[in-house]
Structure 1
């Protein structure tokens, strides 16, 4: 990598020397553009990110970072429910649960199902979903509030 940086710096020095010797304005402009391109490449190689970016990918907000999760792994948690066997729940009770969870966002629902359904801790949920522990607590609070409001306003959940 250092060889590449040294090569760009040497090319930049040669272009500057050519620009001082050249008297044609059009060629001087072209050489200045080439020097600028070399400086851009050098800065990118040295810093490891595109020049001019104020925020690199490592400084994105939590919701902008994408962390792939294996769907089979999530399904295995859903299937190993500690809240009781699906055989113990009637169709009406299952429908009521689905109705109560209907207003939740996918992330709120995932957090709520893992915490309330499987008894997984906030830290483990955070690591599985790739979010912070505080964010898990916030999402669970919002989910519980939405479920409570849904229970009050729905005729079927009383």
Structure 2
């Protein structure tokens, strides 16, 4: 990785030298000279972008790396496969077969939800419907679906933290 970084820095030095040579060597600017300088300028910018990415380990311009995302953006409350198996209640050869204990745990986590929150949450995470499709089915707005699911996730998260039944 360090070798690659050295090569990019050397390339940047060469490009800057070529840019300066074009700028100082030409007293009269024609279209070809302007195009060459613009091309060199773009190449320098691209190389600097890669150098910054290699040095920091993050995409340049991002305010926050993936490891610093908000909790709700990186944590799934329930395994989607388990949730889908719970909703399908299928036992026929699926790799996601649930034991009775796992079914009870999911049922316990969902018991704190209101009827509408449960409908929205199960349709979104168990049946994999989009928010728009859920809104059409239930006759509510898409933002209401998002609100119900957000509340449901908060309640499930709280339940998972405080329930001894859901440990393990």
What TM-score results when the alignment is normalised by the length of structure 1? 0.52
Match in the other structure for 1:119: 165
Q: Deviations over 1:70-106 (max 9, x none)?
A: 627894443466xxxxxxxxxxxxxxx9797524454
8 Å contact from structure 2 (residues 160, 166) kept in 1: no
Aligned pairs for 1:60-75 within 5 A? 60-67=69-76, 69=79, 71=82, 75=98
Q: Which whole-Å CA distance do the structure 2 matches of 1:11 and 1:113 have between them? A: 53
**Matched residue SS, 1:5:** helix
Within the alignment, does 1:30 sit opposite 2:39 as a pair? yes
Match in the other structure for 1:46: 55
How far the C-alpha of 1:25 sits from its partner, in A, is 2.4
Match in the other structure for 1:58: 67
Q: Which whole-Å CA distance do the structure 2 matches of 1:30 and 1:100 have between them? A: 59
How far the C-alpha of 1:26 sits from its partner, in A, is 2.0
How far the C-alpha of 1:120 sits from its partner, in A, is 3.5
Q: Which whole-Å CA distance do the structure 2 matches of 1:74 and 1:114 have between them? A: 25
Match in the other structure for 1:18: 18
**Matched residue SS, 2:72:** coil
- Between 1:5-14 and 1:105-114, the stretch displaced more is 105-114
What TM-score results when the alignment is normalised by the length of structure 2? 0.49
Runs ≥4 in structure 1, deviation > 6 angstroms?
97-100
8 Å contact from structure 2 (residues 9, 51) kept in 1: yes
Q: Deviations over 1:98-140 (max 9, x none)?
A: 7975244543357648965x6245xx6xxxxxxxxxxxxxxxx
Q: Which whole-Å CA distance do the structure 1 matches of 2:62 and 2:112 have between them? A: 45
CA distance 1:51–1:98, shift in 2 (3 Å)? closer
Aligned pairs for 1:76-115 within 5 A? 76=99, 77-79=101-103, 102-104=115-117, 106=121, 107=153, 108-109=155-156, 112=159
8 Å contact from structure 1 (residues 101, 109) kept in 2: no
Q: Which runs of 5+ in 2 are unaligned?
A: 27-32, 86-95, 122-152
